[in-house]
Amino acid sequence: MIKLKDPIHGEDSFESLLYKRKSSRSFNPSKISFQQLSNLLFATYGVRNNGPYKTVPSAGALYPLSIYVVIGKESLNEIKAGVYRYMPVTNSLELVKEGDLRRILAISCLGQAFISKAPIAIIISANFERMKYKYGNRGIRYSIMESGHACQNLELAAISLGLVSCPIGAFSDNDIIKAIGLSDYEIPLYVVPVGHEEKE
């Protein structure tokens, strides 16, 4: 288990984050810091004020999402390449798979090669069954809505940390499931590469 850092506060106003947010598809190979990774994951699906609630709203507070991070070789000083699962309650990461999977991830995203240039990519997946148990088929809608909240938090957090990102929805579900090692009941909804912008 890798314990993450407590998030630190950014200094930009909320409005300036909104002005700066954009989908960026050019990343340079610079590393990101352990603090930046910790902040990004907290924003995406962290537990606020010691729980049980999180940084995003959730219908019935059922929290059907799981968050994974693909970390490349030499992407962070403190963490080796691999796929990790974010554990919100303990604010930690658990290793799922070792190795640099960014190229496979980019191929799974229908060959969107820029994804493999970002030091990390965060994957947001949902367990629809957890929501359907209470809400029937409407639970699918609620899960997808919740992933939008998480993704927007992630993108704005990236901007506040001086990073850029791009929300990716075009991918083969099966290829992502295989690459990341998701279980049968986890459906990938977003792949979000994050890193430093390569200025053109």
Ligand X SMILES: Cc1cc2nc3c(=O)[nH]c(=O)nc-3n(C[C@H](O)[C@H](O)[C@H](O)COP(=O)(O)O)c2cc1C
Residues from 95 through 114 that contact ligand X (CB under 6 A): 112
The one among 9, 11, 111, 170 contacting ligand X by CB under 6 A: 170
- Asked if residues 115 and 191 have their Cβ atoms less than 8 Å apart, the reply is yes
* 141 lies in the binding site for ligand X (CB under 6 A): no
CB of 136 to ligand X, least distance (A): 24
Q: Phi, psi at residue 69, to the nearest 5°? A: -130, 130
Among 154, 156, 166, 179, binds ligand X (CB under 6 A): 166
176 touching ligand X, by CB under 6 A: no
Nearest to 142 by CA among 81, 65, 80, 73: 65
Q: How far is the CB of 169 from ligand X (least distance, A)?
A: 3
159 interacts with ligand X by CB under 6 A: no
Axis crossing angle, helix 138-160 with helix 34-45, rounded to the nearest 10: 150
- 22 lies in the binding site for ligand X (CB under 6 A): yes
Q: Break the chain down into helix, strand, coil percent, rounded to 5.
A: 35, 25, 40
- Looking at beta carbons only, is 168 or 182 nearer to ligand X? 168
Q: Is 200 buried (19+), middle (13-18) or exposed (0-12) by CB count in 10 A?
A: exposed
User: Binding ligand X by CB under 6 A: which of 13, 23, 30, 90?
Assistant: 23
Binding site for ligand X (CB under 6 A): 22-23, 25, 112, 166-170
